């Protein structure tokens, strides 16, 4: 069930990150879903590394859908959007 919660969180985080991140990002809804899920994983990893126990992990009291988990998932998705923009940037 925890894995399903992270996927749902990733979907939400990807959409919010695309809305927050300035400029035009390539990719459609599929890219948003993938970047959101990966962003949730990256954000969860960063949150767990920086603040052990604050981000929802298996067995944590806060759960995957807590406020810190959502914030770290959005942060992770924004980081991945930035990296994606660096990789896919076209030179003029």
Backbone angles phi, psi at 57, to 5 degrees: -130, 170
Rounded CA-CA distance 16/28 in Å is 14
Q: Given this model, what pLDDT does residue 48 score?
A: 76
pLDDT tens sequence across 62-77: 455 678 778 888 888 8
pLDDT tens sequence across 12-70: 888 888 788 776 666 677 777 788 788 878 777 777 787 776 555 443 444 556 787 78
Model pTM score: 0.71
């Amino acid at each position: 069930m925890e894995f399903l919660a992270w996927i749902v969180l990733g979907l939400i985080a990807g959409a919010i990150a695309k809305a927050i991140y300035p400029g035009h990002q390539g990719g459609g809804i599929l890219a948003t879903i993938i970047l959101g899920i990966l962003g949730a994983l990256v954000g969860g990893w960063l949150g767990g590394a920086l603040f052990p126990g604050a981000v929802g992990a298996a067995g944590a009291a806060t759960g995957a859908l807590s406020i810190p988990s959502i914030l770290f998932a959005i942060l992770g998705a924004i980081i991945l959007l930035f990296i994606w923009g660096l990789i896919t940037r076209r030179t003029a």
